[in-house]
Amino acid sequence: MCPFGANRKLASIPSHDRSPTEAQDRCRRHRGWRTLLGLLVGCALLTGAVATDLAGVVRLAEQRYGPPARRDVLNWLELIESARGLDEQRQLALVNDFFNRRIRFDEDIRLWQQPDYWATPLETIGIGAGDCEDFSVAKYMTLKALGLPVSKMRLIYVRARLGGPPGGVVQAHMVLGYYATPTAEPLVLDNLVGEIRPAARRPDLFPIFSFNGEGLWVGGAASSSADPTSRLSRWRDLLARMRDDGLE
């Protein structure tokens, strides 16, 4: 039973030309980023990306977190542009793989000096690290930017059993669920298991509640029981900080 319920050839080049100076190299990289950013901004204006001022988002990332963050945010925006228009299964795989490969897991207390902090995608990509909520939120917001309907996604709080019995440990965890239809078994996007699997193949997860931008569900309930922005203060705070980041 599904635990989540329904729902020139080199030799011809003079040797002194083969290795550009550091300044030349920086200039070329800068021109490349500007070209990419210009393309992304132009496409975003036509299709409605994750941010209305992409150049501002990239500048903010570099100001806060340094030049590597600029590169990483540009890679993220490039993902959004290149994946738009693909089928949903391919979008899920690309987004899941992007964050699982690029973001390092770490605890909130070390990253943000808070016991429980939900980072914005810009914050997570900027520092290159996050916990389970940060992975899930970043995937959710990226898929939303790709045009995936919010109604097909839920952020799911679960109890996760780490390690098999008898010595397994159970701890709170968050994953992203994708529902192809309202009554479909969800696919689970998780930072603990890289492969996207149906919920029935994740017996290590026990759902507690789930939510998205439209509703909140307890356990495997079929209908929403509340407005998430009124019941979840961290969700409300996250959305406000995303607006401050120039996202949403």
Range of the domain at 126: 30-244
Partnered with residue 174 across adjacent β-strands are 157
Q: Look at residue 23 and tell me if it is in a domain.
A: no
Helix axes of 67-83 and 22-47: crossing angle, nearest 10 degrees: 40
Q: Look at residue 59 and tell me if it is in a domain.
A: yes
Which three-class secondary structure state does DSSP give residue 189? strand
Q: Look at residue 2 and tell me if it is in a domain.
A: no
Mean per-residue pLDDT, 205-233: 79
Q: Which amino acid is at 183?
A: T
Using a 10 angstrom Cβ sphere, with 0-12 exposed, 13-18 middle and 19 or more buried, the burial of residue 78 is middle
Q: Look at residue 1 and tell me if it is in a domain.
A: no
Q: Which of 3-17, 75-89, 97-111 has the lowest mean pLDDT?
A: 3-17
Query: Residue 223: pLDDT band by 50, 70, 90 thresholds?
Result: low
Q: Look at residue 4 and tell me if it is in a domain.
A: no
Q: Look at residue 127 and tell me if it is in a domain.
A: yes
Cα separation, 175 vs 132, in Å, equals: 7
Contact 161, 171 (CB under 8 A): no
pLDDT at res. 228: 72
Long-range contact pairs involving 117-121 (C-beta distance under 8 Å, separation at least 24): 118/234, 118/235, 118/237, 118/238, 119/238, 120/238, 120/241, 120/242, 120/245, 120/247, 121/50, 121/76, 121/242, 121/247
The CATH number of residue 169's host domain is 3.10.620.30
Q: Look at residue 159 and tell me if it is in a domain.
A: yes
Predicted confidence (pLDDT) at residue 23 exceeds the cutoff of 50: no
Cα separation, 11 vs 83, in Å, equals: 38
11 CB contacts (<8 Å, ≥6 apart)? Answer: none
Contact 120, 247 (CB under 8 A): yes
Q: Look at residue 64 and tell me if it is in a domain.
A: yes
Does the CA dihedral 231-234-236-239 come out positive or negative? negative
Cα separation, 238 vs 119, in Å, equals: 7
> Which helix or strand (DSSP H or E) is residue 100 part of?
helix 88-102
DSSP state of 86: S
Query: Residue 130: pLDDT band by 50, 70, 90 thresholds?
Result: very high
Per residue in 35-88, pLDDT tens? Answer: 444 444 444 433 344 555 788 999 999 999 999 999 999 999 999 999 999 999
pLDDT at res. 20: 42
Q: Which residue has the tokens 């290159």?
A: 128
Structural domains counted in the chain:
1
pLDDT at res. 247: 87
Per residue in 146-197, pLDDT tens? Answer: 999 999 999 999 999 988 766 679 999 999 999 999 999 999 999 999 999 9
Per residue in 171-180, pLDDT tens? Answer: 999 999 999 9
pLDDT at res. 38: 47
Contact 6, 219 (CB under 8 A): no
Q: Which amino acid is at 37?
A: L
Cα separation, 175 vs 155, in Å, equals: 6
Share of the chain above pLDDT 90, in %: 65
Higher pLDDT, 14 or 78: 78
